[in-house]
Amino acid sequence: MEEALALEELDLNYYRSKKLYKPVWARGVFGGQVIGQALNAATATVPEQYFIHSLHSYFILPGDNSLPILYEVQRVRNGKSYCTRMVMAKQKGRCILSLNCSFALLENGQPLRHQYPMPECPDPETLPTLIERLKSWSNHPEVPRWYKSYMEKKLVAEMEYPVDSRNTDRITFEDLSHPKKTTKQATKGNLGDNLALHKCALAYASDDSFLLTAIRPHGMTPFHQMMMASLCHSIWFHDPYIRADEWLLCEMESPQSANGRGLAFGRIFTRDGRLVASTAQEGVIRVIQKDRAPKANF
């Protein structure tokens, strides 16, 4: 994960990516990585006593993983309690992502505090990994041929992916054929003690399979051929002390899909039940012809 988020400082307010990841059949670089690197660039320009509390980003163009991404940070405001930054991620002179983020000082002693309760779920150690799930589906007779090809490539790519994502539904092939309307996932990585880096890692992982939540109410699955692409992504960090190398539960839901777009919300809990972040994403969802192989990432 540290390698996936690492940046090279070129000059004041300018940073460049070192490593980029393109998912299988994706149109471009994994969006979560671009968000995480953009947040990492913004964090480098803010005093250490300020913590990220929210970010809002727009995906404009697919990123090319054969070229580095240049991150330009604008120091919009340094206030007494809040700092604001704007980041433009660029390739070939064109902006591929814009990100606005706000940092705040920790305020102790404030009495107002409430949160949604954490849903009940099995222990993450008892759940199969994505690799184990893909292997269990690979020989199923009802899996489409084109999806088997995807799974073969996904198994290879998963060895390089820095996030361990496990579905708490203990999902089987039959579940995919007749999906439920909600999904919950847990993620895990390995990081040091830099809390700012943990926020960037959470931002990276928060984009994992998020938009798929918006197709489940329709009885659709990754086996259906469609084009999906993220348009915008927001995160609210409720607690400055988040560790992304410990198990986190992400409960995801979709309030609406219409006009070729789907909307998904997420709530991220620590293992002891603290709601530490909330997320939202809207993306393009277009069903394509059944006889054509999909070109977007699932």
Which residue would you say has higher pLDDT here, 121 or 143? Answer: 121
**Sign, Cα dihedral of 137, 138, 141, 146:** positive
Lowest-confidence region among 92-96, 169-173, 212-216:
169-173
Q: Active site residue: 33, 206, 230, 278, which one?
A: 230
The answer to whether 196 and 52 are in contact (CB under 8 A) is: yes
pLDDT greater than 70 at residue 225: no
Provide Rg for the chain, Cα atoms.
19
- Does the annotation count 291 as an active-site position? no
Number of helices (H), then strands (E), belonging to the chain: the values are: 6, 12
Closest Cα partner for 71 from 82, 85, 83, 81? 85
Q: What is the mean pLDDT of residues 219-227?
A: 66
Task: Look up the pTM and report it.
Answer: 0.84
Tokens of 297: 């990432």
pLDDT greater than 80 at residue 191: no
Give percent above pLDDT 70 in the chain. Answer: 83
Helix (H/G/I), strand (E/B), else coil: 137: helix
Q: What is the pLDDT of residue 182?
A: 44
Q: Active site residue: 17, 33, 91, 207, which one?
A: 207
pLDDT greater than 90 at residue 215: no
Closest Cα partner for 252 from 155, 191, 187, 184? 184
- Does the annotation count 115 as an active-site position? no
Residues 68-106 pLDDT 10s? 999 999 999 999 999 999 999 999 999 999 999 999 998
Domains, in order of start, for the chain: 2-105+124-287 (2.40.160.210)
Query: pLDDT band for position 238 (50/70/90)?
Result: very high
pLDDT greater than 90 at residue 160: no
- Does the annotation count 207 as an active-site position? yes
